[in-house]
Amino acid sequence: MPSNQNTQGGKTFGVLKAQQRDRLEEINKEYMEDQKYRDEEDLAEKLDSFKNKYAEFDLNDQGDIDMMGLKRMMEKLGVPKTHLEMKKMISEVTGGSSETINYRDFVKMMLGKRSAVLKLVMIFEDKANGASGKPNGPPPKRDISSLP
């Protein structure tokens, strides 16, 4: 990256993230054109959501979620896992062919019919975030007569 040698860390990080999102968007276009996934409901929205989740946990911006990225993901979701459990999850997603999860494997897992542990956790998190019963803003004012 010779053109970015004089940029500061934050600018370089932004450039890397933009490049990563562009690469992920190209892969999303492949899935949009794939006959296998044509009849998938809300495919564009799902792929965009997957892209954002994946980019959030790809810590080294190399296009793969490694053990540390998966550990961070599980902790953020409130489901911390042991090293062995995470290895099993990665093996389940990649079919044992890799020690990292690439974006294609991630999308196949999320769109596929198999119920990988990671997929279940991600779906659970989306449902929990979308249907939070917490009211927004400060609690309503109450007077002494309304208390039990």
**Which pLDDT score, from 0 to 100, does residue 88 have?**
85
Across the range 65-71, mean pLDDT stands at 85
Task: Give pLDDT tens digits for 92-141.
Answer: 888 878 888 888 888 887 877 666 667 666 666 665 555 445 556 677 77
Q: Please state the pTM of the whole predicted model.
A: 0.65
CA 20 to chain centre: 14
**Which pLDDT score, from 0 to 100, does residue 2 have?**
47
Fold for the domain defined by 16-129 = Recoverin; domain 1 (1.10.238)
**Which pLDDT score, from 0 to 100, does residue 51 have?**
86
CA distances from 43 to 25, 50, 99, 131 (A): 13, 10, 28, 21
Residue 64 DSSP SS3: strand
Task: Give pLDDT tens digits for 9-60.
Answer: 667 777 877 788 888 888 888 888 887 877 777 888 888 888 888 887 777 7
